[in-house]
Structure 1
Amino acid sequence: MSRCAWRSATALAVVALSGCALRGPAPGDLAQAPAELAATPFFEQRVDHCGPAALATLLVDSGRTELTPDALSPVLFVPERAGTLRTELLAVSRAQGRVPLTINGSMDGLLAALDAGYPVLVLQNLGVRWIPRWHYAVVVGVDAERGTVVLRSGREPRRHAPIDIFLRTWARSDYWGMVVSAPDAAPPFAQPLQWLRAAAPAESAGQTGLALAAFTTAVTRWPESALAHAALGNAHYAMGDTAQARRFWQDALRLNPDLQTARDNLAATAPD
């Protein structure tokens, strides 16, 4: 859950005093930081509505150019909680035809996403642990010379947050961050199981087209993954194509003869 909040640089400096272990490189290690993603759109965030604005930023950047925070608010904003759940950000991304990937929660994971051209939605606590002020922002770059992370945040299209302060506020969400991707183009930093887990809920939600596209991408990208073939078989079966489903389950078993789910599915769909 996030109740959106933003503070002045002075307030954030106070936050830094609370102390928290950092992940990833110190500012001096960022000479090769990727270029800022300057074309990333910006939507000014209303109080308590940072979730819809941050997700709209990612979705519009991914090609869903017709979307606005106001269009997403009815399905994201929970009035009684005055904020947005992380699970809803993931679910709504899939409903909008995108695969949401939670990134490797570290500075290295953040830089890998930026280097591949993906802005990263992050959850921060701008307060302190005992008085949290949860806030969603979008990281669009790292300024190595200034030692800052560049954010679409609050009412600022280019907020520069000192890296150490950013990492402390991000750490309080266990370094939670996500990107969105079209289902036919897995990011270069994606791992097979990570991609499959990100796409799998689409199948149970009835978004079979998204699941089919994402699992086809997985088989193309990682042809030696038995789980990718099995998942694609499941998607074909959900769409009523048993013959194709059986072909991919058979491929899965050739890659991993111990994959019991594929074996069971073949047995259950064997011709009479």
Structure 2
Amino acid sequence: MQEQHAAILHWARRFTLWAAVLLLSGCGTMVPQTLALRTDWPAGVPRQAELVHVPFFPQDEYQCGPAALATVMHTAGARVSPASLVDEVWLPARQGSLQLEMLAAPRKHGLVSLRLAPRYADLLREVAAGNPVVVLQDVGPLLPQWHYAVVNGFDYETGTILLRSGLQARQEMPFTYFERTWIAGRYWAMVVTPPERIPATATEERWLEALLGLARGGNADATVRGYRTALARWPESLPAAVGLANQLHAGGALDEAARVLRGALQRHPQSVIVLNNLAQTLSDQGRNAEALTLIRRAEDPQSPFAGEVRATRQLIEERLRTGS
């Protein structure tokens, strides 16, 4: 009986605490995702987590973007400082950093930057998985004042989010108040990981989209590693196989590119893009007779890739005629 009474008292205290937080932070309808967490806590996520190993870089005036990025990039393995990132993300005319620059900067250092879905649950999942999360907040009391901080922990029992923010190495903020600052930026958040580690909430589509950004950043080796990781996670993924083969081909690794494409062809024997790319790769290896057989299989006037297939066949036939 005493144990039952203690359990009831425990839940009553927690409900009272959450209710008090809601009242103090304003109308509950302003924090819909916090309210949802009270009855639908994400499955598999612990009630408490804190990434104490995440470094802290005090933020100079207006330069919260470089400091927040340095925090998550350092955690992902890049030894950078806020000062080294200023020129990459800091826009003097705006006295701040735009989200595009925040996403682009890690890619230049061989890291994958992934924008999260605008869900509180996804933020919690990433932190629980060991990934600190950069968030965009409006912390202005009256007028908008945009600010980047890093979420590195949470505590369900007390309804507290933990952040590296400004000059505070461990800022504690109620779930509700945090959401009110976060919702103004449409729940914008991002994580940064090395190419070998896919974030906890990343889908195949979102990871491959992030790899396209990494490729645009110019780090070919990191992009190849990211596609290898994708193919290991999603072995049936046609876009992952094609992306990896394209990167290998561009880097001159024709034998490996051909192996990847042959594996994709076994899984997707009717894929026009795989047939075309494998034929191109074989032709580049000087195996034009084999390439011609493959490209004939790819011919389909109704295919959106019909023009590419036609151009590849013309190239192969020209090489056969000239012996090149």
Counterpart selection for 1:167 from 179, 186, 196:
179
Name whichever structure is richer in helix by fraction: 2
Structure 1 residues 174 and 253: CA distance shift in structure 2, 3 A:
farther
Indicate the residue corresponding to 2:64 in structure 1.
Answer: 50
CA contact (8 A) 1:34 1:114 kept: no
CA contact (8 A) 2:249 2:281 kept: no
Q: Distance in 1 between matches of 2:209 and 2:144?
A: 30
Does residue 1:22 correspond to 2:32, yes or no? yes
Indicate the residue corresponding to 1:240 in structure 2.
Answer: 252
Indicate the residue corresponding to 2:97 in structure 1.
Answer: 84
What stretches of structure 2 of length at least 5 have no aligned partner? 1-22, 289-324
CA contact (8 A) 2:108 2:218 kept: no
- What SS does the aligned partner of 1:78 have? coil
Q: Distance in 2 between matches of 1:27 and 1:174?
A: 21
Q: Distance in 1 between matches of 2:269 and 2:118?
A: 34
Segment drifting more, 242-251 vs 105-114: 242-251
Counterpart selection for 1:149 from 161, 180, 193:
161
Structure 1 residues 43 and 190: CA distance shift in structure 2, 3 A:
same
Structure 1 residues 120 and 259: CA distance shift in structure 2, 3 A:
farther
Q: Distance in 2 between matches of 1:269 and 1:28?
A: 54
- Give CA-to-partner distance per residue, 1:87-120, whole Å, 9 cap, x none: 1112111111211111232111011101111110
What stretches of structure 1 of length at least 5 have no aligned partner? 1-12
**What count of residue pairs does the alignment treat as equivalent?**
258
1:1-272 superposed matches below 5 A: 20-23=30-33, 25-26=36-37, 32-64=46-78, 66-127=79-140, 131-257=143-269, 259-271=271-283, 272=288
Q: Distance in 2 between matches of 1:63 and 1:55?
A: 12
Indicate the residue corresponding to 2:297 in structure 1.
Answer: none
Quote how far apart the aligned CAs of 1:258 are: 5.4
- Give CA-to-partner distance per residue, 1:152-203, whole Å, 9 cap, x none: 1111111111111111211121111111111122234322221111111222
Structure with larger Rg: 2
Structure 1 residues 256 and 133: CA distance shift in structure 2, 3 A:
farther
Structure 1 residues 135 and 266: CA distance shift in structure 2, 3 A:
same
Q: CA RMSD in A?
A: 2.5
Q: Distance in 1 between matches of 2:269 and 2:183?
A: 41
Segment drifting more, 131-140 vs 185-194: 185-194
- Provide TM-score, normalisation by structure 1: 0.85
Runs of 4+ with deviation above 3 angstroms: 13-21, 24-32, 256-261, 267-270
Q: Distance in 2 between matches of 1:266 and 1:260?
A: 10
- Which structure has more relative contact order (CA 8 Å, sep 6+)? It is 1
Q: Distance in 1 between matches of 2:53 and 2:282?
A: 52
Quote how far apart the aligned CAs of 1:70 are: 0.7
Q: Distance in 1 between matches of 2:277 and 2:253?
A: 13
CA contact (8 A) 1:15 1:126 kept: no
Structure 1 residues 21 and 267: CA distance shift in structure 2, 3 A:
farther
